[in-house]
């Protein structure tokens, strides 16, 4: 099976712009979670989608949003970019919701640089 894929791999944006990141889960996986990874902060949970519904949300401002499509592919959007949004954004998929002890399978991430 193909792994989790994320596009694009690298992005450079300027403050105030918006960005959309895409994640394609492993075939058959219905849950997709998004994380922001920055040095020293580890992985910060953004949100999790399962069957097109947001099941959980982390402590991020409303500028961060996401959605999941019927084929389980997911997108996340960040509007009005700030310098502090520079990070590696990781997507992870699992067969069912991650809280049921499921293993999460991570993509390689999208590295976002905000200038």
In the bound state with another protein, the residue whose beta carbon lies nearer, of 4 and 114, is 4
65 token code pair: 């949003």
Least separation in angstroms between residue 107's CB and another protein is: 5
Distance CA 59, CA 109 (A): 20
In the bound state with another protein, the residue whose beta carbon lies nearer, of 20 and 97, is 97
DSSP three-state, residue 99: helix
Distance CA 61, CA 31 (A): 22
Least separation in angstroms between residue 16's CB and another protein is: 29
Distance CA 30, CA 24 (A): 11
In the bound state with another protein, the residue whose beta carbon lies nearer, of 8 and 16, is 8
Judged by the rule CB under 8 A, the positions of this chain that interact with another protein are 4, 33, 35, 40-43, 45, 48, 50, 55-56, 58, 90, 92, 97-101, 103-109
């Amino acid at each position: 099976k193909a792994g989790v894929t994320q596009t694009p791999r690298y992005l450079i944006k300027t403050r105030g712009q918006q960005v959309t990141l895409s994640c394609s889960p492993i075939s058959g996986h219905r849950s997709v979670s998004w994380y922001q990874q920055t040095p020293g902060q580890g992985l910060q949970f953004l949100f999790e989608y399962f069957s097109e519904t947001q099941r959980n949300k982390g402590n991020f401002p409303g500028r961060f949003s996401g959605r999941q499509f019927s084929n389980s592919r997911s997108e996340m959007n960040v509007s009005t970019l700030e310098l502090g949004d520079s990070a590696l954004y990781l997507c992870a998929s699992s067969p069912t919701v991650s809280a049921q002890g499921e293993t999460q399978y991570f993509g390689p991430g999208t590295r976002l640089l905000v200038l």
